A and B are shown apart, each in its own frame.
Chain A
Amino acid sequence: MNQMNPEGYTTADGRKIGPVLMEMKNITLRFGGVKAITDISFDIREGEIRAIIGPNGAGKSSMLNVISGFYVPQEGEVWFKGYKRGPMKPYQVARLGIARTFQNIALFDGMSVLDNIMTGRLTLMNSGLMAQAMWWGTAEKEETAHREKVEKIIDFLEIQAIRKTPVGRLPYGLKKRVELARALAAEPKLLLLDEPMAGMNVEEKEDMCRFILDVNDEFGTTIALIEHDMGVVMDLSDRVVVMDYGKKIGDGTPDEVRNNPDVINAYLGVSHD
């Protein structure tokens, strides 16, 4: 297993990992005088499950927000698919093929599960405003084709029974799953998951783990995720970035990271001066 090979490598369980899909170069993010992220660089390879971990307030969510365009870093470069990405609005980033979920779930509560997932396909729909308004031929055909794709995702995530239910009525674990479904509906190149298992019970966590692995396996989707549960992270991910106080303190396979003294210090608590 050679992770430095630019063409990619094969994992222990035989999955093919491709070349670099996204690269963060020397990212620094400040809020006024507070540095949330200090000079962090790492890359995400095609087909990989990449985790970002760290104690509370380490800057993990900020990092994810930089990738998805919700924050614009003061310094550093973001490279995606071999091109440098200028400062972009979140909706433009989404149109590039980067989908995400949120730590505290951002779904459209008033809409049904089906409609929520359909919004995920907005960026893939082509027919124009007028055709849509008049419900002309192409618009109708398009809607049907997209519905088929969405139904597949619904089957895949096993949420058939709640398709027509307004999202606001669902329990927490299912909401998380619907959010994943909406992100998947966009057929993203890169899927960002912000604490996909936070607040779940053991059973729900196992389900979610299975779905994440299946998504990666079935669709070949590259996944970057933030997670607190160390056990989960170590099982799921191919490579892990460890952050603490806005700085990168470790980067490598789960085994490498586990044995990294800086990481052990950060998690077990050592004074910071």
Chain B
Amino acid sequence: MPDQLLYAIEAGLNGLMAGVLYALVALGFVLIFKASGIFNYAQGVLALFAALTLVGFQNGQIPFAHLLNAIFGTDLHEFGWHLPAIVAIVLAGGVMVLLAIVIERYVLKHLVNQAPIILFMATIGMAYFLEGLGDIMWGADIKKLDVGLPQGINETIDSVTYNAFGYGFFIDNLDIVASVVAAALVISLTIFSQYSKQGRALRAVADDHQAALSVGISLRFIWVLVWSIAGFVALVAGIMWGSKSGVQFSLSLIALKALPVLMLGGFTSIPGAIVGGLIIGMGEKLFEFFVGPMIGGATENWFAYVLALLFLVFRPQGLFGEKIIERV
């Protein structure tokens, strides 16, 4: 096999893996959009906040330490313990549920029956609030996240491909783990929303508030449930991205990459988020590989958005989105 083709396959595979991570973030958007018709601008920040909280718990950081020190002149920094990863993940999950309850109680409850644009604005506000809260609680420095996921080159794939083609593929173990986790998450969420009582209630609320109330569904419970699930997905995305590139403010910007993924996959489709993520991830790597050298490189920065733009022009509902037909 010619070297050029081998390199391309390797780039494509790595793109697929990166796409899984995009898909994880996009999934959080789709869940909330499906259940409440809200485009949740805060999803990226939610992932950042979840990752910050996780690292904070794991390292035994005292929340609000800087603030406390500044006000009371104390010198607090750490509790001095180091929690096992699994305990810290469960605790961080608990914080995300708590956050969902707070959001429902102090924001969403007061915005029932408002236009989607109002709710969208509210999530922009929440994004900036959470960003600040994360900084005050855990500090603004770049943190290392290590929950014991395998990292580095996968030796098996390397040696197998070396023996077969004379060229070893570089595939990161972390990317493989992320793919498995994402697949499990998508399958379980799809089953949950299609076949369970709460899943059905969730879809009902998304469709019509009034009708949902009349069959005995509590809107408040469903909202807390949806935001908890979105928080949980954000936590998973935060763990994966955080392990890859450290926990820092730029983590919240991965949400921007999720936007073209959503345009491709459709805002209302869970499988769409996955396929969209994969296409964008692989597309941008291959485009960079083949076309990049001809036009001076750095195509990864804009490829996804241009692709999304094309989709908006020719297929605005995305690959899997519902086409809205109005009966006249």
* Chain A interface residues (CB < 8 Å from chain B): 68, 70, 89-92, 94-95, 99-100, 102, 106-111, 115, 118-120, 122-123, 125, 127, 129, 132-133, 135, 139, 143, 168, 182-183, 186
- Is B215 engaged at the interface, CB distance under 8 Å to the other chain? yes
A91 near B213 with CB under 8 A, answer yes
Complex Cα distance A223/B203, Å?
28
Q: Are the C-beta atoms of A106 and B208 separated by less than 8 Å?
A: yes
Asked whether B301 is an interface residue with its Cβ less than 8 Å from the other chain, the reply is: no
Q: Is the CB of B192 within 8 A of A118?
A: no
Residues on the B chain within 8 Å of A129, using CB: 198, 225
Partner of A102, one of B203, B204, B210, B225: B210
Given contacts A99-B215, A111-B204, 15 further A-B contacts (CB under 8 A): A89-B218, A94-B213, A110-B322, A111-B203, A115-B203, A119-B212, A122-B204, A122-B216, A122-B217, A129-B198, A132-B197, A133-B192, A135-B196, A139-B196, A183-B214
- Is the CB–CB distance between B215 and A109 below 8 Å? no
* B209 (CB) vs chain A CBs: closest residue: A106
- The answer to whether B211 and A102 touch across the interface, beta carbons within 8 angstroms, is yes
Contact A120 B215 (CB under 8 A): yes
Contacts of A109 in B (CB 8 A): 207-208
Majority secondary structure, B binding face = helix
Chain A residues within 8 Å of B212, by CB: 91, 108, 119
Across chains A and B, which 6 residue pairs bring their CB atoms closest together, nearest first? A94-B216, A106-B211, A108-B207, A123-B216, A132-B196, A90-B213
Q: Is B201's beta carbon under 8 Å from chain A?
A: yes
Chain B residue numbers with a CB within 8 Å of A99 are 214-215
Identify which of B199, B217, B327 contacts A91 (C-beta below 8 A).
B217
User: Which residues from A are CB-within-8-Å of B219?
Assistant: 91
Please report B residues at the A interface, Cβ cutoff 8 Å.
188, 191-192, 195-201, 203-204, 206-208, 210-219, 225, 322, 327
How far is A97 from B188 in the complex, measured between Cα atoms in Å?
A: 32
Residues of B within 8 A of A139 (CB): 196-197
- Chain A residues contacting B201 (CB-CB under 8 Å) are 119, 122
Question: Within the complex, which residue of A106, A115, A127, A135 is in contact with B214, where a contact is CB–CB below 8 Å?
Answer: A106
* Distance, CA A257 to CA B322, complexed state (A): 51
Q: Let me know if A186 and B216 touch, CB within 8 A.
A: yes
B200 touches A118 (CB 8 A): yes
Question: Does A100 contact B196, Cβ atoms closer than 8 Å?
Answer: no
Cα distance A269–B199 in the bound complex, in angstroms: 51
Question: Min CB distance, A177 to chain B, in Å?
Answer: 15
Contact of B215 among A92, A94, A110, A168 (CB under 8 A): A94
The reply to whether B196 and A122 form a contact with Cβ atoms under 8 Å apart is no
- Provide the bound-state CA to CA distance between A92 and B199, in Å: 19
Q: Is the CB of B203 within 8 A of A106?
A: no
* B-side contacts of A110, CB under 8 Å: 203, 206-207, 322
Q: For the complex, what is the distance from the CA of A123 to the CA of B212, rounded to whole Å?
A: 11
- A residues in contact with B192, CB < 8 Å: 132-133
Q: In the complex, what residues of A have CB within 8 A of residue B200's CB?
A: 111, 115, 118-119, 122
CB-CB nearest in chain B for A116: B204
Give 22 pairs: A residue, B residue, CB < 8 Å, sorted on A. Answer: A68-B214, A70-B213, A90-B213, A91-B213, A91-B216, A91-B219, A94-B215, A106-B214, A107-B208, A107-B211, A108-B203, A108-B204, A110-B203, A111-B204, A119-B201, A122-B215, A122-B217, A123-B216, A129-B198, A132-B196, A139-B196, A182-B215
Distance in angstroms from B38 CB to nearest chain A CB is 16
Closest to A90 in B: B213
